[in-house]
Each structure stands twice: as C-alpha cells, then as structure tokens.
Amino acid sequence: MLALEDVEKRYGEVWALAGLSLAVPSGELLAVLGPSGSGKSTALRVVAGLEEPDSGRVRVSGRDVTGTAPGERDVAMVFQSFALFPHLTVAENIGFGLAARRAPAAERERRVREAAEALDIEGTLDRRPAALSGGERQRVALARALAGRPRVLLMDEPLSNLDAPLRERARAEIRRLHRETGTTVVYVTHDQSEALSLGQRVAVLEAGGLRQIGGPEEVYNKPAHAFVGAFVGSPPMNLVPAEVVDEKLRGAGDIVLPLPAGAGVGGRDRVLAGFRAEGLRCLVAPGTGFAACLDAVERAGHERLWQLSVGAQRLVARPAIEACGTPGETVHVAVDRDAVRLFDPESGLAL
C-alpha cells in the first residue's frame, strides 16, 4: 500500500500540495487527474522522493519513507519525456537501475530480457534511443521501470508525447502490464478520458487538494465537488447558479430545474445546480421546461452536442438521435430530476 498523509509542499507563496492525503491499496491502478498547477506532478515527485514535503508523511508498504533517498523507496518512475539515456543501448537503459544497484550480471540480463519480452521490444535491445520510434521509446521507459520490480510504479503523463492512435494502444498495454504484474500504479494525467478509462479509481486534484477519489463512474456521475463536475467528462457538467423557490430551482432567465428528490438544501436559498449533457431532454412540449437558444450543433461521429444559451448562461445537451434542430432557433428543454446534483455555491462541495 502507498499512502500520503497530510502532505504539504509550498514553493514560495504557492501551495503545490495543501494537506493532501491519499491511500492506494496494493495492486491498484490509481489515476491522479487534475489541471496543470493542481499539484498532481508534485504529489508524484513527493512519493518518488524527488521533492521533500514541508510536512506530512509518505509510506510505501507501511514503511515511512519520508526523507529517504529516491533509490531506497522501492518505486520506479516513467517520465513524460521518457528520460532515456541517449548514450546507452536499449538493454543498458532497461538494466540501468539493476546495474546501479549491483545486481549480478546474469540476473540483470535475465530481467532485462523478461522486461523487453513483456513489452515486445526484444528486437531493439542493441539499439540506441535515437534509432527508436516514439512508441518504442515509451515501451523502453516502461520496461526500465518494470525491470527493477518496484512495489509502486509512478507515471507522469507517460502518453502525452505520443500521437493519438499510438496512445490508444499504449493505454491497453499499460492496462495489460498492470494486470500481469500486479504492481501498484499511480498514473498522473491531465486528460480526463485517459483517467476514466485507465484508473480503477480516480483521484481528482485541484489547487493542491483532493476534491474527490472514487471509481470512474462515481467520479463521473456523482461529483463530490463542483470542480470535479466541471473538469471530468466531455462535455463537462452544466453548472447553473440557482435560487431555491417553491421546491424548484430558478436559474438565470427562464431556467427552471426540478429539485432532486430528498435533496437537503439545508436552508440555503442559493445553490449551484449541476447536470450532465445527457440529463438535459431536448424538444419537450412548451411549458414543461424552459426555452433556450440553439447556438450550434457539434457533430463528433456517433454523437451530437447542442450548444444552448439562456441569456448569458451556456448549456450543453446531448440530444436524442432523432432530434433535429437548426442553429438559431429556439428549443424547449427540460432537465431530469435524477440528473440534478446540488453544490454549495461558496465551497463547491456537493450537498
């Protein structure tokens, strides 16, 4: 198990990590998701020992490793840049850590070969990184990280340097390797679709703090914080500041939303209401919902998105397949009661 306990890290006036606590059970693949500056990379570097926290502890398999050298933590790392040694062959790159730790030559050779086989790069062992394709480099970086059989594998945006089709394959590869090795993996990314597709659980970070940790579905469907709703999912969750009036929610203009069953607004008269694009029903009978202007229709292969506006409030809907609308026309939409999530307008926390 890997644990961060109340870790704080400050750079001058900026809090990179503001009391972050995270526990990753052994064998889990945790995706750490956040925008740039959210502290996700700092968290990874603190686990690796490349940065020392100002306060808080880091534990690997129950052992407190805070303050120990990176090489003594039983972790391995894959960098976004892959960080391959340009003057060493692929085999030497993969065996670098084993050689640095003085593993016997025979053992080293066996494990380099195993790691290379696992990643299907045996054919490149004698080559130098300059002679490899982007995908091969990424595999070498992965093989090197796995060759030392670390307890925890840390990955910092490992697919950002690959182009889209390669990225899909590499995702599947990482999923397979994780299944086969059973290593605990912490996977940092700013790409929410990558986090949702890879992570057994997803931790969403903002401003150095944990906003939510949970399964991909939970994070998508039940955001614990307005930020999570706005950051996770494509398109992001619609967020509407609303007033609580007569068991209904009134937003800007004519927007009317149903108050979810059993929702405790706790005496608030203002809330932040969130709902996913698919929770917005399009083309309902006038009078049941509210009117919105259809600004644009976005097509992305199998699906369409409607960009709507009510005054200054913008909304995104994922209309049913038979719905057709022309940009510029006024459409009537309504929001499903079950789709609405409420957040505190000040703290952003789910109610």
CB of 290 vs other proteins, minimal distance in Å:
52
CB of 96 vs other proteins, minimal distance in Å:
6
Nearer to other proteins, 141 or 257 (CB): 141
What CA–CA distances, in Å, run from 70 to 24, 58, 335, 348? 19, 12, 51, 37
264/1 Cα distance (integer angstroms): 36
| Interacting span for other proteins (CB under 8 A) from 10-18, 43-51, 197-205, 302-310 | 43-51
Q: Is 87 one of the binding residues for other proteins (CB under 8 A)?
A: yes
196/31 Cα distance (integer angstroms): 8
Helices (H), 183-270: 192-198, 216-221, 226-231
Residues whose CB falls within 8 Å of the CB of residue 113, separated by 6 or more in sequence, listed in order: 122, 125
Q: How many CB atoms lie within 10 A of CB 67?
A: 10
Q: Tell which one of 27, 70, 241, 253 touches other proteins (CB under 8 A).
A: 70
242/335 Cα distance (integer angstroms): 14
Q: Tell which one of 3, 30, 46, 75 touches other proteins (CB under 8 A).
A: 75
Nearer to other proteins, 99 or 293 (CB): 99
Full DSSP string of 250-302:
E-STT-EEEPPTT---TT-SEEEEEE-GGGEEESPPTTTSEEEEEEEEEEETT
Closest CA to 326 of 306, 311, 303: 306
Q: Is 290 one of the binding residues for other proteins (CB under 8 A)?
A: no
- Tokens 């995270």, residue? 22
Helices (H), 24-95: 40-48, 90-94
CB of 77 vs other proteins, minimal distance in Å:
5
Q: Is 71 one of the binding residues for other proteins (CB under 8 A)?
A: yes
Closest CA to 206 of 51, 24, 19, 40: 40
Of residues 212 through 241, those in contact with other proteins by CB under 8 A are: none
Nearer to other proteins, 150 or 279 (CB): 150
Q: Is 12 one of the binding residues for other proteins (CB under 8 A)?
A: no
Q: Is 132 one of the binding residues for other proteins (CB under 8 A)?
A: no
State the number of binding residues for other proteins (CB under 8 A).
Answer: 25
Q: Tell which one of 97, 214, 258, 279 touches other proteins (CB under 8 A).
A: 97
Q: Is 49 one of the binding residues for other proteins (CB under 8 A)?
A: yes
Q: Is 252 one of the binding residues for other proteins (CB under 8 A)?
A: no
Q: Is 3 one of the binding residues for other proteins (CB under 8 A)?
A: no
Residue numbers at the binding site for other proteins (CB under 8 A): 48-50, 69-72, 75-77, 79, 81, 83, 85-88, 96-97, 99-101, 128, 144, 148
